[in-house]
Chains A and B, each alone.
Chain A
Amino acid sequence: MNQPDVDVVVVGGGPAGSCAAIVAARAGLSVVLLERGPFPGSKNMYGGVVYPRILDELIPNWWEEAPIQRWVTRRSTMMLTDTQALTVDFRSEAWGKPPYNGATAFRPDWDHWLAGYAEAAGAQVLTDTTVVGLIRDAKGAVAGVRTDRPDGDLTARVVIACDGVNSFLAKEAGLYEHTDAKHFTLGVKETLSLPKEVIDERFAVRDRHGVDIEILGGTGKVNGGGFLYTGLDTLSVGVVLKLPKLAAQQQRPEQLVAGLKAHPAIAPLVQGAELKEYSAHLIPEAGLTMMPKMTTSGMLVAGDAAALCLAAGIWLEGVNFAMASGMYAGEAAVEAVQAGDVSENGLRGYQRRLSDTFVLKDHRKLRRAPELVLSDRVQHLYPGMIANVAERVFHVDNPHPKPGVRRILAQERKKAGVRRRDLLRDGWTGFRSFG
């Protein structure tokens, strides 16, 4: 075979792609990082919170440089009915100090920043370049990519596909068996501007401290969830919607966001804030159920392209899985190139790393969680049942004496039409996943 143009071509300048490029370039490999937008991050959007712990390995003291909005020191999980809200609220001062935990950040800032490290490591970052297909060698192994540039073919020993949730490359390589709408959710978000002092006051935080609110039950008849995050002088509010349900319920995404913003528990928080940017993105929601094969001869798949997104109710993570899988793909590519074997077997270090770390361990542990969280009972029956129990426990109904909590539970379960058997089964699934 002729000498390839480069050792590694990484497709996609998101968190997976940049981490893959950083690792490969630092090991001395020649690396090109292709980005179809005008800058890395320009196509990327998420709810708004990143957990960068895994970056400790690549960028020590990353928090001194990272373009974050606020450090999340307050996490709320909220359950809504039309007229009720039950919130579990946790705050920790520790999360507001190094080494920190989660942060709110905008992806165009974050991804652009991370790609800077790839460039500093020696990777060539090529923007405005869309990859349109794979190049294969005589034996059918992946040997590079075709781009939409004139003379745009680029051959490489290893292609690392970090081309996002739609991953046309993983599909072209035959790594996905099928694409099913029920495995995806649509995230739609409004970035709202509001003065910092107003945010600090409304959300009871100071300095660079911020709030992460995850919401169950705020999306009407469409299965999904809501979120509200604080930026420095912005709020990110939006919904995540199960695709088949969204289409079937005939409700438009922006109307569901408007519905959430109008909820009595949310409206006072977002009042007077002006729309700065409306955006949307797909989420590979189904975890292990939908994951493709991630290695083939000459190619690795990482990040959203490999459906490495954890959507497990109380845990909503993606960028950390992207950064880790990109890093491990980079390491495996280095190993394979140095050993002179970029076949599927030569690249097997990738799958091993994924299996040995949180990337697949969390997914295995939580494999039933996405389906449970988006199930009709969790979405449409339990929030009302639980909120009614809370309301009756705290409601003072003198001259009647207080009823026992067990009796309230039994009555509300019946009233909600929840069978004891289903409740026990869901409880057991939840316990096995989250416990």
Chain B
Amino acid sequence: MSDGTISFQERMATAEFRVHHDAHIVVDGKVCADCSTRECVVACPASLFVPTSDGGIVFNYEQCFECGTCYIVCNREGAISWHYPEGGHGVVFRRT
């Protein structure tokens, strides 16, 4: 996924994330397995949800903007549990 000039990985590397060892997003793979719409895959601005060839979803929490899009856009009850990362962790937007 690229906008023609930089890769998505390079794009995400412009934002700072102080990663905590505990995931603040938990996905219930069983619920996702029979979801055909997969709103999270398209809508997550950090592209943290990636479909696998066997019909599942793998997710990362490390480069999360903590926006909340995934759980709000998901229409499957209980598929995505989401809370804020531990204090001092997660995304840190830049001061000038």
A positions within 8 Å CB-CB of B: 36-39, 41-45, 67, 69, 106-109, 112, 127-130, 132, 147-149, 165-166, 168, 179, 181, 184, 186, 188, 243-244, 246-247, 249-255, 257-258, 261-262, 275-282
Majority SS at the chain B contact face: loop
Q: Which of B3, B42, B45, B85 contacts A280 (CB 8 A)?
A: B45
Mask, B65-91, CB within 8 Å of A = 1, is: 111110011010000000111111011
Q: What CA separation (Å) do A113 and B68 show in the bound complex?
A: 26
Known: A37-B92, A45-B93, A149-B87. A281 touches B43 (CB 8 A): no
What 12 new A-B contacts, CB under 8 Å, besides A36-B85, A37-B90, A106-B95? A38-B18, A41-B95, A42-B93, A43-B66, A43-B90, A108-B94, A129-B88, A130-B87, A148-B86, A244-B73, A252-B42, A278-B15
Q: Which residues from B are CB-within-8-Å of A132?
A: 83
Residues of B within 8 A of A278 (CB): 11-12, 14-15
Q: 18 A-B Cβ contacts within 8 A?
A: A38-B92, A41-B93, A43-B66, A45-B65, A106-B94, A108-B96, A127-B87, A168-B84, A243-B43, A246-B73, A247-B42, A247-B43, A258-B4, A275-B6, A277-B94, A278-B11, A279-B15, A282-B68
User: Considering the complex of A and B, which 10 residue pairs feature the smallest CB-CB distances, nearest first?
Assistant: A128-B88, A258-B3, A280-B45, A247-B39, A128-B87, A130-B87, A166-B68, A108-B95, A129-B87, A280-B65
Residues of A within 8 A of B94 (CB): 106, 108, 276-277
Please give, as numbers and ranges, the residues of chain A lying within 8 Å of B42 by CB-CB distance: 246-247, 249-252
Query: How far apart are the CA atoms of A262 and B92 in the complex, in Å?
Result: 29
State the main secondary structure of chain A at its contact with B. Answer: mixed
Q: In the complex, what distance in Å separates the CA atom of A244 from the CA atom of B43?
A: 9
The residue of chain A having its C-beta at the shortest distance from the C-beta of B72 within the complex is: A181
Partner of A277, one of B3, B14, B18, B66: B14
Q: Which residues of B contact A107 (CB under 8 A)?
A: 93
Q: Contacts A186-B43, A247-B37: A165 and B68 contacting too (C-beta < 8 A)?
A: yes
Interface residue B57 (Cβ < 8 Å from any Cβ of A):
no
Q: Which residues of B contact A127 (CB under 8 A)?
A: 87-88
Q: How distant is B78 from chain A, measured CB to nearest CB, in Å?
A: 14
B residues 2-17 near A (Cβ < 8 Å) are: 3-4, 6, 8, 10-12, 14-15
Residues of B within 8 A of A149 (CB): 87
B73 engages A38 (CB within 8 Å): no
**Chain B residues with CB under 8 A of A38:** 18, 88, 92
The answer to whether A253 and B73 touch (CB under 8 A), given A112-B95, A148-B86, A149-B87, is no
Q: Which of B8, B69, B83, B96 contacts A109 (CB 8 A)?
A: B96
In the complex, what distance in Å separates the CA atom of A243 from the CA atom of B44? 10
Known contacts A37-B88, A246-B42, A255 near B3 by CB under 8 Å: yes
From A108, A165, A251, A275, contact of B93 by CB (8 A)? A108
Kindly provide the distance from the CB of A350 to the nearest chain B CB, expressed in whole angstroms: 25
